[in-house]
Chain A
Amino acid sequence: MECEICHENPATLHLTNYINGQKTELHVCQKCAMEKGYIEPKDDAYTIHDLLSGLFNFNSNLSNQPGINKSNQNELTCPHCKMTYHQFAKVGKFGCAHCYKTFEDHLNPIFRKVHSGNTEHTGKIPKRQHVHLQQKRLIQDYRNRLKTLIDEENFEEAAKLRDRIKALESGESSSDSNEEE
């Protein structure tokens, strides 16, 4: 089927209109549909890279901030991989795990933009390396549940849960003493 407007391209869009209960059909190509305003032109493909480079540019334009200015001799530099903040802003990638600490003060706005306002991890925790953290997370979960139970005036269950939290906390303090950090 050819386009009913230009009679050149194949009709790829099939539009149905109802006017006063009268059904009309239109078979047109993408180009004509766009020209006639039947469909919205698609936005240019947005890539995460565009977003990021825009972000970093915004940040590095604030070059009056200490540690960001390119010409600054004391530019913020990761002691482990030698990546500077300027390089980080340019490539949009961290050089090593320690960069996260080095550039810590500048990261929240970036993470907020990229991750819809989020800045802190709430997911999986390594099992072997971070046992104490898992426990901490568990206690936090229990505390939240305790609150709900109390709100619901379910005191019997709440008392049980409180005892479990206490037991966990006394266990945690012993593992805290050999924390790696």
Chain B
Amino acid sequence: MSLQSFIDSAISPWMQEEGPDHDIVLSTRIRLARNFTDVPFPIVAEEEKLKIVSNWIKTHFNQQSFNQYEGLEYFEMSTLQPIEKRALVEKHLISPYLMEKEKESGVLVSKNEQVSLMINEEDHIRLQLYFPGLQLDRGLEEAFHMDDWLEEKIDYAFDEKRGYLTSCPTNVGTGLRASVMMHLPALTLTSKIGKMVPAINQLGLVVRGMYGEGSEAVGNIYQISNQITLGRSEQDIIEDLQSVVEKLIEQERFAREMLVEQSELRLEDRVFRSYGILKYSRIIESKEAAKCLSDLRLGIDVGYFNHLSRSILNELMVLTQPAFLQQYAQETLTPKQRDIKRATIIRERLGLEES
């Protein structure tokens, strides 16, 4: 397979568009947790009960289309190869938790990979929508439409007082988790982000690394999301998140300007060193790759390069993950072989830009 056609298959179509504030915000995700009213939650349900859910989804929604989300297709976890599941995780279409589940679990994905419905994960349904850049309002609106469409055919577990009932008490009420993925190299480099996190937490929002709870901010990519789901309307939750994200964007842009002005040659030196490593190394670990890619992206954003496209960070962050490397190689690789393959892909990808 050529690298270009591999990239086309590995990068979700929606990721290739540029959204608002795309110099800092990589993507916006809206997730709604929903359950069937009379089926026990997956944590205790027997297989035959979960089958009611998965069959219902298959009968009513497989091969259907909703607005721009065409060609919804259901994949059963038990029929997928481990490497295929890992690739779905790396594309954020399923959670690592779903990957481990066998019993009647699956995922319904739209052709453009913008919508995914995880079935029988922690809840019966986890509806997720992705958007490039910062698009919380649009995301919520479209998630609501999709939710209404599902609800035409599903009796949701809902209580007047507690709202949408979920397996975990942390999701009850709206079942909403809105998150924004941000690239914050300047706030990290100047250690400002650490000071901002406690204030953000006080607003009921959480800051995490790219791969969810407890993960460190690899490649200076942070995920900001709401923690509170009960007692506040979805719009209020989104508004708070929006204002914090806007503040972070403003601070990041300011910190970048200061760095460019005040670091003299240090920032430029750092960026070009990283560029050199990416361009010439033969073996590279994922952590080093992430760091260098972050530097390179910052360099592109502040204008040190004009022949490289911004999408390079988003793309290579996905492509250099273990499952994709192995898919590209079409064989299982040892960690050492992966580091070699990773360096090769990065060199080739940069080569595409320069030809």
Are the C-beta atoms of B230 and A111 separated by less than 8 Å?
yes
A42 to B161, CA, bound (A): 38
Are the C-beta atoms of A121 and B163 separated by less than 8 Å?
yes
A117 to B230, CA, bound (A): 9
A119 cross-chain contacts in B, Cβ below 8 A? 161, 230-231
- Mark each residue of chain A from 39 to 59: 1 if its CB lies under 8 Å from any CB of chain B, else 0: 100100101100010000000
Surface stretch bound by B, among A69-77, A91-99, A144-152, A160-168: A91-99
Classify the interface of chain A: helix, strand, loop or mixed.
Answer: loop
B204 cross-chain contacts in A, Cβ below 8 A? 116
Contacting residue for A118 out of B37, B147, B231, CB 8 A:
B231
Chain B positions 215-230 with a Cβ under 8 Å from a chain A Cβ:
227-230
A115 cross-chain contacts in B, Cβ below 8 A? 173, 228-231
- Mark each residue of chain B from 314 to 352: 1 if its CB lies under 8 Å from any CB of chain A, else 0: 000000000000000000000000000000000000000
A174 cross-chain contacts in B, Cβ below 8 A? none
Task: Count residues of B near A (Cβ-Cβ below 8 Å).
Answer: 50
A115 to B37, CA, bound (A): 23
Contacting residue for A100 out of B162, B168, B191, CB 8 A:
B162
Classify the interface of chain B: helix, strand, loop or mixed.
Answer: loop
* CB of B4 closer than 8 Å to a CB of A: no
Surface stretch bound by A, among B152-160, B249-257, B297-305: B152-160
Are the C-beta atoms of B43 and A93 separated by less than 8 Å?
yes
Chain B positions 38-60 with a Cβ under 8 Å from a chain A Cβ:
38-41, 43-45
A13 cross-chain contacts in B, Cβ below 8 A? 191
* CB of B354 closer than 8 Å to a CB of A: no
Are the C-beta atoms of B159 and A123 separated by less than 8 Å?
no
Listed in ascending order, the chain B residues whose CB lies under 8 Å from chain A are: 35, 37-41, 43-45, 122, 144, 147-148, 151-152, 155-170, 172-174, 176, 190-191, 194, 204, 213-214, 227-234, 266
